[in-house]
């Protein structure tokens, strides 16, 4: 609306300079460290990082858990989202609010709850031992299962929100029409619901996958030193070993994951607008 370019730039500049100087610059230097060693530019830090079997285990575990959380939250997400959109409008809003409520609660508090539930004297073990099903309490904390459960609870709402908004954009009579024409529920899902909500699935999946991949609190509290993931490994490399080479390699891996996920989301968003 205003043509005066200089005023516009002057107004936008403080924010841009702030973010560039205090954010992009330090992060850029840190990431570039992963390509240097004593002799100058090199890929050696990457080769060294992946040469260690322990690092490879952590890397693959992070990918595996993130993929598993994304996959399981998609299954639960579809069931829940479908149940939510088939509710009458009045209760739909209320249930949707309950689903999004956990997002407002501190991740520390949400993760902490699983200590109470999964601990040695926690709720689950009390039920199992108390009812005589087991003699000794199960070891539930500091396992991949505990981290998986914690991450799933943390990120499931994001998947449900994405799928609910995708389903609300679905033509209302698509599902009943398919049913009337004789499709069973599996066919309805594969041929009607899935194609019509694919964007929501990709958006939710990317959010859950990158969220799980870059989560710190949940693996730190529920996994401890036994179940390291990339973020907890990064923290450990710096604070315990003072090993900045591995730290910047891990930073780069996390960064590439986060950035490609973001790019994918942006692609989808522009594709949607163009249509």
Span 14-53, contacts to other proteins by CB under 8 A: 14-16, 18-20, 22-27, 29-31
Distance (Å, whole) CA 30 – CA 192? 47
Range 254-273, binding other proteins (CB under 8 A): 254-255, 258-259, 262
Range 87-106, binding other proteins (CB under 8 A): 87, 95, 98-99, 101-102, 104-106
Phi then psi for residue 55, to 5 deg, are: -65, -40
Helix (H) or strand (E) holding 40: strand 40-41
User: Taking contact as CB under 8 A, which single stretch among the options 53-61, 83-91, 132-140, 194-202 is the one that binds other proteins?
Assistant: 83-91
CB-nearer residue toward other proteins: 143 or 214: 214
Of 27, 97, 56, 73, the residue nearest 212 (C-alpha): 73
Range 121-150, binding other proteins (CB under 8 A): 121-123, 126
Residue 221 CB burial class (10 angstroms; 0-12, 13-18, ≥19):
buried
11 is an interface residue for other proteins by CB under 8 A: yes
Helix, coil or strand: residue 67: helix
CB of 26 to other proteins, least distance (A): 4
CB of 64 to other proteins, least distance (A): 18
CB-nearer residue toward other proteins: 67 or 76: 76
User: Taking contact as CB under 8 A, which single stretch among the options 48-56, 62-70, 111-119, 165-173 is the one that binds other proteins?
Assistant: 111-119
CB of 80 to other proteins, least distance (A): 4
Residue with tokens 């036994």: 226
Among 158, 160, 192, 203, the residue binding other proteins under the rule CB under 8 A is 160
Among 7, 42, 169, 187, the residue binding other proteins under the rule CB under 8 A is 7
Cα 205 to Cα 78, 137, 211, 274: the distances in Å are 12, 35, 10, 22
Among 44, 63, 68, 113, the residue binding other proteins under the rule CB under 8 A is 113
Cα 261 to Cα 28, 213, 254, 255: the distances in Å are 19, 11, 11, 10
Range 178-237, binding other proteins (CB under 8 A): 185, 214, 216-217, 220-221, 231, 234-235
Among 238, 243, 264, 268, the residue binding other proteins under the rule CB under 8 A is 238
Structure tokens at 29: 């230097």
CB-nearer residue toward other proteins: 46 or 53: 46
Helix ranges (DSSP H) in 105-173: 107-118, 123-130, 144-168
Cβ neighbours, 10 Å, residue 58: 22
Among 12, 225, 269, 271, the residue binding other proteins under the rule CB under 8 A is 12
Cβ neighbours, 10 Å, residue 269: 12
CB of 237 to other proteins, least distance (A): 10
Among 57, 60, 108, 241, the residue binding other proteins under the rule CB under 8 A is 108
Phi then psi for residue 164, to 5 deg, are: -60, -45
């Amino acid at each position: 609306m205003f043509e005066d370019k200089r005023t516009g730039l002057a107004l936008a500049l403080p924010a841009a300079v702030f973010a560039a100087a205090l954010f992009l610059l330090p992060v850029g230097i840190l990431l570039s460290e992963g390509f240097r060693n004593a002799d100058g530019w090199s890929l050696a830090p990457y080769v060294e990082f992946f040469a260690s079997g322990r690092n490879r285990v952590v890397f693959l575990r992070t990918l595996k858990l993130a993929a598993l959380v994304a996959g399981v939250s998609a299954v639960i997400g579809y069931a829940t989202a479908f149940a939510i959109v088939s509710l009458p409008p009045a209760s739909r809003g209320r249930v949707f609010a309950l689903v999004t409520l956990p997002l407002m609660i501190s991740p520390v508090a949400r993760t902490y709850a699983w200590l109470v539930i999964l601990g040695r004297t926690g709720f689950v073990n009390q039920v199992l031992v108390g009812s005589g099903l087991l003699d000794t309490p199960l070891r539930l904390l500091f396992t991949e299962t505990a981290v998986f459960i914690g991450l799933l609870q943390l990120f499931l709402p994001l998947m449900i929100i994405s799928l609910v908004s995708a389903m609300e954009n679905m033509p209302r009579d698509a599902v009943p029409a398919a049913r009337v024409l004789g499709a069973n529920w599996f066919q309805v899902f594969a041929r009607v619901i899935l194609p019509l909500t694919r964007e929501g699935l990709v958006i939710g999946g990317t959010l859950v996958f990158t969220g799980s991949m870059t989560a710190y609190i949940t693996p730190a509290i529920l996994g401890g030193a036994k179940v390291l993931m990339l973020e907890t490994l990064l923290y450990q490399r710096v604070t315990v070993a003072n090993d900045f080479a591995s730290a910047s390699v891990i930073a780069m891996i996390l960064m590439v994951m986060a950035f490609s996920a973001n790019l994918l989301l942006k692609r989808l968003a522009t594709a949607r607008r163009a249509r």
